Amino acid sequence: MDGWVVGIDLGGTKTALGLISPDNRVVAHRRMPTNADEGPSSVVERIAHLVADLEAEVPGGERVAALGICCPGPVNHETGTLLKLVNLPGLSNTPLRQLLAERLNLPVRLEHDAKAAALGDFYFGAGRGHRSMVYVVIGTGVGAAIILNGRLYYGETNASGEVGHVSVDPDGELCHCGTPGCLETFTSGPSLVRRYRRALQEAGAPIDEPTITGEQITHLAAQGDPIAARLMEQSGRALGIAIASMAMILNIELYVIGGSVAKAGDLLLEPARQTVPKYCFKATAQHVQIKASELGDDGPILGCGWLARHAS
Ligand SMILES: [Zn+2]
């Protein structure tokens, strides 16, 4: 489908909407607090209001032709339903696609946010020209989406891509999922914060920043703070071990890293690149490419735009 579409990235705290031109550029943005606790009808109404607002910016009075929306999982992409959402309990078990389609009288596609972001980079960013890739999102949590021969791979029970809960250290700290040494315990924003505070305590240093975030730790590492730099190095190595395992199992060559922690760029990715050859066959490691997402916050929106164009 050509024409103008809207991509919507519905998150735990805020929701971002983008108006996408026929040549797949995000030409206008809108943002709103998600406020999921107000319930589905409030969220749908506020989204509908902003979609109308974006539509007013389409030149020549053309209409928006379709919507794509993504949210933190789990979702049923076939029925367009949100399942039990830990971060958005107010929207659990909501048939969001149907509600939006009825309210706006438009075709709508719903997808998991990591999968939408993967589609964005696959078609319009770091994955252009590739047949297969794995997109790893590192933010509050860690997850992945696998694109195999041009198609998202969902797994037998729609549970593929949980690389954040693959162990990279059997003696590591216990993850909230119950497994020791999950990748997420090394790389997620909250894990970086926990590790940073613990390292300060061990060094006997005062914790003068009670509300430090993962993003701030990234900035500190870039400025040469030794504790923050060591943590990013550790995170990158853990990511490298996980990528080596995926490369050995899947024989996929391109790994695109997105999400807020991935904004650390080479501080995170370079240790990962150096670690991969230590944990897989040389012949496999030679072909592994680890790249940062090229689309940043617009990745999920552009992926939703692609889905919207393929809505039936
Ligand atoms: Zn885990």
5-46 pLDDT per residue, tens: 999 999 988 999 999 999 999 999 999 999 999 999 999 999
Q: Give the CATH number of domain 126-292.
A: 3.30.420.40
The whole-number pLDDT of residue 69 equals: 98
**CA 54 to centroid of ligand 1, rounded, Å:** 39
> Ligand 1 mean position to 162 CA, how many Å?
9
Question: How much is the pTM?
Answer: 0.93
Ligand 1 centroid to residue 33 C-alpha, Å: 28
Domain with CATH 3.30.420.40 in the chain: 4-112+298-309, 126-292
| pLDDT score of 206 | 75
pLDDT (average), residues 148-171: 96
Q: Which residue shows structure tokens 């505070």?
A: 197
| Whether pLDDT at 271 is above 90 | yes
Give 55's pLDDT tier (boundaries 50, 70, 90): very high
Name the CATH superfamily housing domain 4-112+298-309.
ATPase, nucleotide binding domain (3.30.420.40)
Q: Tell how far the Cα of 112 is from the centroid of ligand 1, in angstroms.
A: 19
Say yes or no to pLDDT of 61 above 70. yes
Could you tell me the distance, in angstroms and rounded to a whole number, from the CA of residue 144 to the centre of ligand 1?
14
State whether residue 29 is helix, strand or coil: strand
Distance 296 CA to ligand 1 centre (A): 25
For position 145, what pLDDT does the model report? 97
How far is ligand 1, taken at its centre, from the CA of residue 277, in Å? Answer: 24
Q: Is the pLDDT of residue 208 over 70?
A: no
Measured in Å, residue 232 CA sits from the centre of ligand 1 at 19
| Spatial contact of 309 and 121, defined as CB atoms under 8 Å apart | no
Alpha-carbon gap, residue 288 to 290, rounded angstroms:
7
Q: Ligand 1 centre from 185 Cα, in Å?
A: 7
Q: Is 38 helix (H, G, I), strand (E, B) or coil?
A: helix
Q: What is the pLDDT of residue 301?
A: 98
206-226 mean pLDDT = 85
- State in Å: Cα 40 to ligand 1 middle: 30
Distance 190 CA to ligand 1 centre (A): 13
Q: 209 falls in which pLDDT band (50, 70, 90)?
A: low
* Predicted confidence (pLDDT) per residue in 168-205, tens digit: 999 999 999 999 999 999 999 999 999 999 998 898 87
Distance of CA 109 from the midpoint of ligand 1 (Å):
29
* Ligand 1 center–CA 58 separation, angstroms: 44
Distance 309 CA to ligand 1 centre (A): 35
In degrees and rounded to multiples of 5, residue 225 shows phi and psi of: -60, 120
Q: In the Cβ-directed half-sphere of 246, how many Cα atoms lie within 13 Å?
A: 35
- d(CA 196, ligand 1 centre) in Å: 19
CA of 169 to the centre of ligand 1 (A): 11
Give 264 Cα–ligand 1 centroid separation in angstroms: 22
Residue 198 Cα to ligand 1 middle (Å): 20
- The CA 272 to ligand 1 mean position distance, Å, reads 19
User: What integer pLDDT is reported at residue 312 of this predicted model?
Assistant: 62
What pLDDT sits at residue 93?
94
Burial of 198-234, coded b for 16+ CB within 10 Å and e otherwise, reads eebeeeeeeeeeeebebbbbbebbeeeeebbbebbbe
Cα 34 to Cα 9, 13, 78, 97, 101, distances in angstroms: 10, 5, 23, 16, 19
Q: Which two tokens stand for residue 185?
A: 């315990």
- In the reported structure, the alpha carbon of residue 173 is separated from the centroid of ligand 1 by a whole-number distance in angstroms of 10
Ligand 1 centre and the CA of 292: distance in Å?
23
Statement: residue 2 has pLDDT above 90: no
Residue 210 has pLDDT above 70, yes or no: no
Q: Residue 86: its pLDDT value, please?
A: 78
Average pLDDT score, the chain: 94
Task: State the distance from the centre of ligand 1 to the C-alpha of 276, rounded, in angstroms.
Answer: 21
Kindly state the percentage of the chain with pLDDT values over 90: 87
Say if CB 140 and CB 152 are below 8 A apart. no
Gap from CA of 269 to ligand 1 centroid (Å): 21
